[in-house]
Structure 1
Amino acid sequence: MAIALAMPLVLLLLLPVTQASAQEQQQQQPPWQVVRPGCRDKCGNITIPYPFGIGAGCFRDDGRGGFQLECNDTRSTPRLTVTGYGIRITGLSVATSEARAHLKATRRCYDSKGRLVSQSGATFVPLVGSHYLFSQARNRLVTLGCSSLGYFIDVLGYYVSGCMAVCRPQQFTTPGSCTGVACCQSAIPPAVDYYEPFLLDFTKEHRDRDIAFYSNKTTCRYVFLVETKWLSTRYTGDSEYLNWTKDFSVPVILDWAVRNVGSCSAARRNSTDYACQSTLSDCIDSGDGHGYRCNCSKGYEGNPYLQDGCKDIDECKRKEEQSCYGICTNTLGSHTCQCPPGTSGDAMTENGCLPKDNFTLALKVVTGVSVGVFLPFFMSFWLYLGLQKRRLIRTKQKFFELNGGVFLQQQIRNYSDTSKGGGGFKIFTKEELEKATNNFAAGRVLGHGGHGIVYKGVLEDKTVVAVKKSKTTEEVPTKEFAREMFILSQINHKNVVKLLGCCLEVEVPMLVYEFVSNGTLYHYIHGSRGLDSDTGFNTCLRIAVEAAEALAYMHSSASPPILHGDVKTANILLDDKLTAKVSDFGASKLAPTDEAKMATLVQGTCGYLDPEYLMTCRLTDKSDVYSFGVVLLELLTRKKALYFDGPEEDRSLVLCFMMAVKVGQHQDLLDSQVRDEMTIEALEEITHLVMRCLNMSGEERPTMKEVAERLEMLRRYHNHPWAQADANPEEEQSLLAMEPHNVNYKFTQDCVLDFEASSTYSYSL
């Protein structure tokens, strides 16, 4: 397949376009700017809008292919192609971000004995590395003729989409749509950038055994990717298409977008490369694959990829589009439509403007009677609204008091009197958070968790925050909840997400945190951003150190100590500098001084839960240590904590790692980048630290402070020039500040799960 990609891509042999398509292309030059100054704007009848262009400096060059075009004027009909891809373009649209081309159908023809006599058609159409994708919404894969299975594969040779066309005896066949008899169609998935079609025919043995797949067979069979509109308007299901033996081509729609970055938010961070150059344009994330496209703002038209490319639409000159039967006045981005002087009514409807009538005596009488009748109803309605408003205020006050608002206000007031600052913690109203989140719009959702939904909000002072709208809350005493909220708000650590405030006038309190812009550690390890390909292990180790220091701070330096209770990669956020910030205190607990209060309902995430916590329902600081050990293991192996698709013995990352350590093969589970960048001694040291964190006995685990110190030593050793040289064991042990470890660990049921003979302990709540 790699050899095929390297071949010249002269793959789309196009027949002359139909008369209807030619008429669509014969458009006049738009009144707004299309191309950069000094650049060619047409190839034959095809308009070439920027970011496309012919010649140096006339197209957008961002490292991906597709925007540079070539025009062959030596033919009777000029031919427009994509440079380096051999794709012939027959139409381009900035408004819809689509390109039109024609693709030759793949054909195979047989004689009466079922022997292949001829075949033709495109072999493959690669768009890999370009700005184009085959449109999922506008195209269908079609198999024509019978009996045959038509399908296409991706660049790796895997099946993508296909369908089977089967014929019936002629006396039972009636013209119809492409539904499987003689013609079938199938949708294609999104983000398809490679097309290689195939036709699979039934063997003679199969045909002789089952006539259902071999009745009224056709001489030739076709498979092709085609625009859905062509299929619905051109194919009628009659014998004309079934008797075809010639080659033909069909239109295909390509979605194009600026794809050198993944989304609008990422594109705006680099203003010099941002494609939406017009100030009157909007950026829209691509609906097919990653990338983005630009549109002129409402009320404007033109080319948003050029400076000053979007111009105001004079709606008053487009009467066929705007129904204004009065006086139309154009405004920037809009227009007004008013009735002529001396008339009134609806100027947007025909005959809607009527002459103004004098307020006659009869009309005055009618108006007076109407007011006398309806005034009591209006008074009753306003009284009802007033009562509803008072009821709403009382409800808010009730929830505020039940959620400890009075107590929390007193705590904030006392703190302000002593520190003269209040710590920045604020009690928000429900209206403030609704306005900040656009009434909790779906487009503002940052993520879903086990404890609620997190929304992005913008406060009146333009501060960007994360608003957590919880689903449920534990029934804790009012003062206890308010006390926990206030203490959590006083956490001041660079690696802990700051709690800025809360809203208590709702049934379930809402929490307001600082906004962290770069997603979670989970997405950087396992998601599309790809920590394993973009970021060195040194950064991973630094993130682990920062997260460990944050947990150590909560365990050892906070007063009273705070237990997180749900440590996992999804709860470690990263800012724009990839600085770790521990978040989501939905399962957090203030460490109680009374040991009898340690027993709680088990909360947390499967794969990270402390087995001792599962058995005893007692959350301790060592429970966070165990969960952090799983996080370290994810960083080392780049594997998820749980896999439900594989064999049962491979579903738990912890068990797989322990089994590998037991037989001395744990390095095979480590990520190749980790093995390449760290010495054997450092790897064994961090392996030893992970095994201590994952010990079944909480007493045998290290404290988070010790874990943070050990990881910091490892990081300094990894960054030290000696680590890049061939240091002797004594020097390495001195750098790591450690004693040599015996990595032949002894396993007992007291410290790890029993995985002998495929036996494991399981716990249920």
Structure 2
Amino acid sequence: MGWKIIVVSPGCQEKCGELSIPYPFGVGNDDSDCFRDSHFHLVCNTSSGHPVLHFEGGNIPFLNISLEGQSTVYIWITIDCYNQSGRTYDGFQEIDITLGNILSFSSTRNKFTAIGCDTKAYISMVLDWVIPDDNCTYAIKNRTSYACGDNTDCSDSSNPTGGYNCHCKQGYRGNPYLPQGCQDIDECKEDNNCTHVCTNTVGSYNCSCPKGTHGDGFKGGSGTGCIKNRSRTFAIVTGIGSSLALLLSFFASFWLYQLHKRIRSKKIKEKFFKQNGGLLLQQQISLEEGNFDNTKIFHAEELEKATDHYNENRILGQGGQGTVYKGMLTDGRIVAIKKSKKVEMVDEGQIKQFINELVILSKINHRNVVKLLGCCLETEVPLLVYEFISSGTLFNHIHDRSDDDMLFTWDNRLRIATEVAGALSYLHSAASIPIYHRDVKSSNILLDDKYRAKVSDFGTSRPIAVDKTHLTTAVQGTLGYLDPQYFQSSQFTEKRCL
């Protein structure tokens, strides 16, 4: 340690013999500044041959005085001496101690000692001392009489008479009762918790690590100490490795997500395919191999791509049976894709009937009937794919004749009516199984680029057995186009198609 702790006022006696006399205690004349006040006035008595420190007017010698608020006094109380002929002397010392306001007996540190065969008993007594009268709260308000110096803390005494003691703050050392008695200590020159580099600060110190290491520089407890830095190459390799690992983890997670999504989508499609009669259709195709060369079972992705995910801009028309979209297949063909409306309850019999009708319609091959190119059964409701007819419906041309007056000459009208009649005749008699359309109207007759008629929308059509002359069923079709006798009797014949 490169500096000395000052415990007495300048110019005052520091010791009595080997015993230090710290301020606020001191020896000197009554008007001396070596002690705080008369409570702390001591006398160093050398009359007995060795110095004895005691209070002025008292005879109890001090063994030591601590700045922590304790002092030790030495008192013998009795003596009993013997020789060969018996007791030679005995005596008893009466104790008379006036403690005053600054002293009190320590309740835990006093002891009684007896020495030798011939007994001499004495007490080494510990006395607590305080700055009297006030506690910290009140004392600090009066700075002129406040006993604590700079860089100190104050603590109230447990002495019943009150009082307080002063202590140097952490990071300071010295006599807290002198004005500048508490001096900053250089912890870096003493034992400290730094592992490498110590930097002294006012009232404390900091630890740090040398170049090439990292950490907080503290040892023990929660300190990390100093850890040697890894090489720059290692750091770069580690960084790249971590980034690659993170990237691979991301791609792996994304791949697993996509895989899970595909598996789930596949299961849903398989469910709908089975629900919509796909297995039955495959069975029919296998039984009639060669009759379905021009009919295809499309996948859901093909039709989603063809319609730009069923974009509203691709809608050709909407009706009671569903919505029709314009699409382009991967081979460049333009098609019309009909998306039926969802039906809440469909039983097994209806599914079987739908597949049978789908098989029949796929076999129709007539120039005036819209050709069914295939279907998709992987969606919640089946999708039907037809050839695309470019010039729209007869209904639109009838009601908007601004640009096509030449179309509606009597010759063209007669030709269109003849083509529709020929298509219905084919359906009634020339098809493998007779088919009744049941909803013939101008909006279900399409015109191609040469204005040839194409009968479409077989949503309400029904095949009938060859040996039957009529079909009894619930009335279906469009009001205003229904045959009144069919509406009344529910019996549909080939004549009532017209």
Larger Rg: 1 or 2?
2
Q: Which has the higher strand share?
A: 2
TM-score normalized with structure 2 length:
0.48
